[in-house]
């Protein structure tokens, strides 16, 4: 069935069960608030630009949209209060697609005790999902990009490159014939069902580090390091051996480190904090969380191993990794 057949009233009836009770149906949603600061972020996904029927089911579009926004909250050290969903739809959109989208959104949000609290549906020539997420944070634990100082440990909350690998597998059925099925499934899941690191926010709030800078790695690990360094006026020395290369990645590309540094959409956090705190946090998180280097006074970003130093922060490198 297409949405032009059920009308706006039918559409709203369909969507209400996916919204937090008591929040929709008035001019705006009212939510109780206990933090000191409101944190707000907006992200828009457009059909054939940010997703496609080939790689992303409606449920995955919903899940990924929710994660992208919750990850931005996590990157500020904030816990979520709710999201609004602005949905642009052509009249011939399948009703099932919309229901699946909301199922995906709700599925992701439920894991973090939050949900949809409002939105707007409008006619458009292209399917568009505009999400605004808002959360709360105490002033003492806001994570800003510009708060890094030289000599801080740089850490990641998990592995990188898996989402890129999943996307490439979905785009090219001939890729990765020699990949073992478990790796394949893990890569595709990393792309379709990424997880925001709100669990890490809770840990940081408990640890109360002297300072913490950071952002999420939605645009890639190297991009995150570069943006933190630029905003904070520091450089970085990254130990190549400390960077985890997901098993199986070598079966997909000759340059796995490129995918790890530049792949994007892994939605991990990249953090700079005092070494002892970073060690404690890495232990708490477990898995592939790791200290990968340290911030420096000189503004370059260097990737070092036993024998070589590679300068990473040139514009051409960005273009290369950002493909």
Binding site for a copy of itself (CB under 8 A): 25-33, 35-46, 49-50, 71-73, 75-76, 78, 81-82, 84-86, 88, 117-120, 122-126, 128, 130, 132-137, 142, 144-146, 215-216, 231
55-to-122, 164, 204, 242, 322 alpha-carbon distances in Å = 25, 12, 34, 31, 19
Contact (Cβ atoms closer than 8 angstroms) between residue 154 and residue 271:
yes
Bridge partner residues of 79 (DSSP): 136
CB of 207 to a copy of itself, least distance (A): 20
Please, which residue, 57 or 136, has the CB nearer to a copy of itself?
Answer: 136
DSSP code for 26: S
DSSP string computed for 214-247: EEE-TT-HHHHHHHHHHHHT-EEEEEGGGS---T
Minimum gap (Å) between residue 27 Cβ and a copy of itself: 4
User: Smaller CB distance to a copy of itself: residue 269 or 292?
Assistant: 269
Any idea which residue has 């999902």 for tokens?
129
Instruction: Give the nearest distance from C-beta 176 to a copy of itself in angstroms.
Output: 30
Phi, psi of 7 (to 5 degrees): 70, 175
Cβ distance to a copy of itself smaller for residue 22 or 185: 22
Nearest-approach distance from CB 304 to a copy of itself, in angstroms:
28
Whose Cβ is closer to a copy of itself: residue 70's or residue 285's? 70
- To a copy of itself, the closest distance from the beta carbon of 250 in angstroms equals 32
- Taking the least distance from each CB to a copy of itself, the nearer of 231 and 245 is 231
Contact residues for 186 (Cβ-Cβ < 8 A; gap 6+): 162, 246, 248
């Amino acid at each position: 069935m297409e949405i032009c057949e059920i009308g706006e009233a039918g559409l709203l009836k369909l969507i209400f069960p996916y919204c937090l009770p008591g929040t929709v149906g008035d001019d705006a949603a009212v939510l109780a608030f206990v933090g000191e600061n409101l944190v707000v972020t907006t992200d828009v996904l457009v059909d054939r630009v940010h997703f496609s029927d080939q790689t992303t089911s409606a449920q995955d579009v919903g899940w990924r949209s929710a994660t992208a926004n919750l990850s931005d909250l996590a990157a500020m050290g904030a816990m979520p209060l709710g999201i609004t969903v602005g949905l642009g739809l052509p009249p011939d959109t399948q009703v099932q697609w919309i229901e699946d989208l909301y199922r995906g959104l709700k599925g992701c949000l439920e894991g973090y005790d939050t949900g949809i609290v409002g939105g707007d549906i409008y006619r458009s020539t292209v399917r568009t999902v505009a999400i605004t997420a808002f959360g709360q944070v105490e002033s003492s634990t806001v994570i800003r990009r510009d708060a890094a100082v030289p000599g801080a440990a740089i850490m990641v909350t998990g592995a990188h490159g898996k989402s890129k690998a999943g996307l490439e597998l979905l785009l090219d059925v001939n890729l990765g014939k020699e990949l073992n099925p478990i790796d394949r499934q893990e890569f595709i899941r990393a792309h379709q069902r990424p997880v925001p690191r709100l669990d890490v926010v809770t840990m940081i709030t408990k640890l109360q580090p002297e300072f913490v800078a950071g952002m999420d790695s939605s645009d890639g690990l190297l991009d995150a390091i570069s943006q933190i360094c630029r905003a904070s006026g520091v450089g970085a020395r990254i130990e190549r051996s400390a960077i985890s290369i997901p098993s199986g990645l070598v079966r997909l590309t000759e340059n796995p480190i490129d995918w790890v540094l530049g792949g994007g959409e892994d939605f991990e956090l990249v953090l700079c904090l005092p070494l002892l705190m970073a060690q404690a946090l890495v232990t708490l998180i477990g898995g592939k969380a790791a200290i990968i280097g340290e911030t420096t006074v000189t503004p370059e970003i260097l990737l070092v191993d036993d024998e070589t130093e590679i300068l990473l922060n040139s514009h051409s490198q960005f273009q290369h990794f950002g493909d």
